[in-house]
Chain A
Amino acid sequence: MLRVMSAFRGRVARRRRALYGVVVALLLVVSGCGNGSSSAGDAITLYTCVNDETVQPVIAQFESDHPDADVKLFRAPTGDLNARIAGDQRAGGLKADVVWACDPLTMQGYVDQGLVGGWVPAGAASIPERFRTADYVGVAVLYMVAIYHDGVQPPASWSDLTEATYGPVAVPDPNVAASALGALGYFDQTSEFGLDFYRKLKDQGATQLSTPDEVVSAVAQGTSPAGVTIANSAYASKDAGSPIGIVWPEPGAVAIYGPIALAQDSADSSLAKDFISYVASEPGQQVVAKGGSYPTLSGVAGPEIPADAPIVFPDWSALAAEKDSLLGRYQQIFGG
């Protein structure tokens, strides 16, 4: 009996040691992962929603030009970025030195809250005026274009999409994608369209999907014969082999620029300013273009764009002022 008991205890002790071993190993895994890179030099934090393929090469090039500099990156879709910034604000202040947004409305929101702005690099002057304000400067552009499934007659203009042949047109949700909100703003501001354009699309059975990427998938799958989406996403999919065609329709593809701005709390960080200046400079813009985004600086060649492609620009300050009522009116058409 006693022997049995002691054998039993021995087994328990061995098992317990094994258990401790596992726990310690697990803790090591986690703590080992926690050791981020630390650098002796200057460091700044960049918050952005720009995709990795564009932002990583920009950071890599900047860091190789400034060997002591360390650019820490937080990248997330606009919704998450908003949540993170709002969280930061209520936990001791914005942790970013530089914010690179994907649309001017989001950035204007940060400016209005006194989080960013008040400074643009000297080089910003060479970027077209419609892509900048006194608080931020556009360093990349998205173009809202029309796409169609192979075999469908390409639409020549935006109004063509309201014809029955293209129904049900897939459109991105302006409540979710700022690029879609930019397009909504443009159509609403342009007398030949107005919200009637959306009403006609809806009458043809238009489907509202969440993001421009989902529009590309729907048109490529053939669920919708045509759709409204951003050019980068459409070309990437077409180049990979998706059966779609891309049109820059009359009167023009809608341009949505992605601005970069300095955090108010980092107003004296020369490294943050250097980074912004670099992204807006010609070498920076070339890296942006190589990463697959359309640059704002004229003269820098970017991704595919047809010769003489027509381009239109929403009035962003007007759009910022009437965003809520516009979305309310849009909601009456698309419901939900």
Chain B
Amino acid sequence: MAARSTSLGFRAGLIVVSAAVALLVVVPVSRLGYVVWTESAGGLGQVWSRPGLARAVVNTVVLAAGVTVVAVPLGALAALALRRSDVPGRAWWRVAMVLPVLVPQFVLGYSWTQAYARAGFTDTVLGVPWPAVQGPWGVWAVLVVNTVPLAYVFAAVGLAVRAEPDLERAARASGATGLTALRSVTLPLLRPSIAAASVLSFVLTLESFAIPQVMGTPSGFTTVTTLIYRDLSLGSDPASFVEALALALLLVLLTIIVVIPADLVLGPRLRVSRVAVTEGAPVEQRGGRAGGWIAAALSSYLFLGVVLPVLALVAAALTPAVGVSPRPDHWTLDNFRLVLTARTFDALGRSAGLALVAATALTVLGVAVAVLERRRSGRILGTLVTLTLVLPGSTLAVALLITYGRWIGGTLTLILLAYLAKLWAFAHRPISGALDRLPLGELQSARASGAGPLTAARTVALRPLAPALLGAWLICVVTALHEVTMSSLLYGPGSDTFAVIVLNSQELGRIGPTAALSVLLTLFLVVPALPVWLLIRRLRTSTGATGPAAPRGVADVR
């Protein structure tokens, strides 16, 4: 009977989520396809034969692969390294690892060139410029630095949810070296999280725009997204507009080619089902000077990847104009005064509300897809929701505008739909990577013992998944707050978001106010992040103390 109600619930869930996927993904993408098909008037061949397209496609794919193969292992290594208790200041490093994502993409290009390019920080202070920062290598480096935290979060969440420290202990006790235990026990368990991080990293690099545009195009490095931007800039000519949409669909196609095989073949093999019992404390690893080396490696990564670019950004916010040296006697708060208006706060409040609602809804949607895709009938859902992630913001916004603008154009609801469509995969992948303690049997026994469906889900399934849910939620909040393109294209009277203020400030031609806005936005994220971090720490301790692991601890003591 329990099995029958589960299967009924599954079917109902499948219908609801499929409807949402149709609404947010399938219909808008199909509408784009329809526009390209009907309006290109046989000129589609012209799009494909466009000079420079082949090179842009190659650049895009190579960049995406290059970022993924470096950033994902680095992130996973960092997560593994930070399990060691001999790393000095471990709790601090765990937070520091995700700091790069707090710098909004729309100023990242500027802050890196300001830090490393000719006449930048390192040049003026040390006489060591890195001219290649404005070119493919610079684009690659910045994207890697920005992807590592994502891979780190995935791996850390995977470790928190999936690790089997008792197995590791058993391996070590049976004589395996640390490396062998890592290779034969820990890494195989981490594989789904690593696969999820790789797919997301690949897709995010395919759709990255701001960094390639600001740092790549000056040296002639083009990607599909920078071509789309050009087409839209000249897009009052319908042919350019249709060409931009065709290129966006090309990105969708690239995603399908890479992600569908990965999802269909790799996904089910990597998934396993295990009991919901959380294991004991992680294996203590110490010895040698490894902890010190790890701390040194992390600090140089953070110094070069975060501290210097952020210093450049803060300097830009505090100096009156570009090219004025950031000496203390030049410091001014004028840029902050300029942007601290009632309108900025209204917009920031609106953006924050949108980000919170979107992240919360996305976490629910992410769980739903992660659960449903584990059955054959729902397997394609996870792949489908990745397709809207790869659409550059401008074209996804156009897709939603074309599909729903007639009824809800210019409202916050349309912007919310755009966020849901764009970030669904962001919420889904980390949860999917972590979700193998799906304890169906235990859910059923909870139900059989009289727990309602919600109680059963909350007490049996939610608890072990909490780190993954929180990780997904946080990623969505930050990304939604930093989102510029879609909301600035979709807003209407009374629904202008923070992005509108940012773009407006950029158009005034001075970097100072834009830098000040990013500093404000970062503070706005960091200040509430502190209590959230404390909450996570408390949650973690309370899981350890009262969670299912406790009886085992008691048993051990006995």
Contacts and interface: CB of A to CB of B under 8 A. Distances in A.
B460 to A, nearest CB: 13
A145 to B, nearest CB: 13
Interface string A81-93: 0111111101110
Contacts of A328: 51
Interface string A72-106: 11111111101111111011100100000000011
B291 interface: no
B489 A83 contact: yes
Interface of B is mostly: helix
Contact of B217 (A29, A80, A91, A208): A208
Contacts of B352: 29
Nearest to A52: B504
Interface stretch (A169-177, A187-195, A272-280): A169-177
A216 interface: yes
A210 interface: yes
A39 to B, nearest CB: 10
Nearest to A29: B353
A75 B501 CA distance: 10
Nearest to A33: B350
B302 interface: no
Task: Please indicate which of the listed interface residues A87, A219, A331 has the most CB atoms of chain B within 10 Å of its own CB.
Answer: A87
B217 A76 contact: no
Nearest to B394: A83
Contacts of B110: 217
Given A95-B409, A243-B323, A177 B233 contact: yes
A35 B494 contact: yes
A176 B230 contact: yes
Contacts of B219: 207
B235 interface: yes
Interface stretch (B113-121, B427-435, B522-530, B535-543): B113-121
B437 to A, nearest CB: 21
A213 B509 contact: yes
B503 to A, nearest CB: 6
A335 B507 CA distance: 26
A61 interface: no
B163 to A, nearest CB: 27
Contact of B409 (A91, A181, A237): A91
A210 B416 contact: no
A11 to B, nearest CB: 10
A27 interface: yes
Nearest to A5: B450
Interface string B376-410: 00000000000000000011011001111110011
Task: Please indicate which of the listed interface residues A73, A241, A331 has the most CB atoms of chain B within 10 Å of its own CB.
Answer: A241
B321 A240 contact: yes
A221 B112 CA distance: 13
A110 B401 contact: no
Nearest to B455: A12
Contact of B508 (A23, A84, A236): A236
Given A53-B508, A214-B214, A83 B234 contact: no
Given A90-B402, A210-B214, A241 B508 contact: no
B509 A244 contact: no
Interface string B286-299: 00000000000000
Given A83-B397, A87-B405, A30 B354 contact: yes
Contact of B233 (A9, A82, A92, A209): A82
Nearest to A213: B509
A34 B233 contact: no
B322 interface: yes
A314 B514 CA distance: 32
A6 interface: no
B360 A173 contact: no
A177 B509 CA distance: 13
A233 B509 CA distance: 5
B309 interface: no
A326 to B, nearest CB: 12
Contacts of A76: 488-489, 500, 503
Contacts of B503: 76-77, 80
Contacts of B491: 74
B507 A51 contact: yes
The 5 closest A-B pairs by CB, nearest first: A36-B494, A109-B236, A220-B323, A233-B509, A87-B401
17 contacts: A12-B455, A26-B357, A35-B494, A45-B493, A51-B504, A75-B500, A80-B394, A80-B489, A83-B232, A84-B401, A107-B236, A208-B217, A213-B507, A219-B323, A240-B320, A243-B324, A336-B220
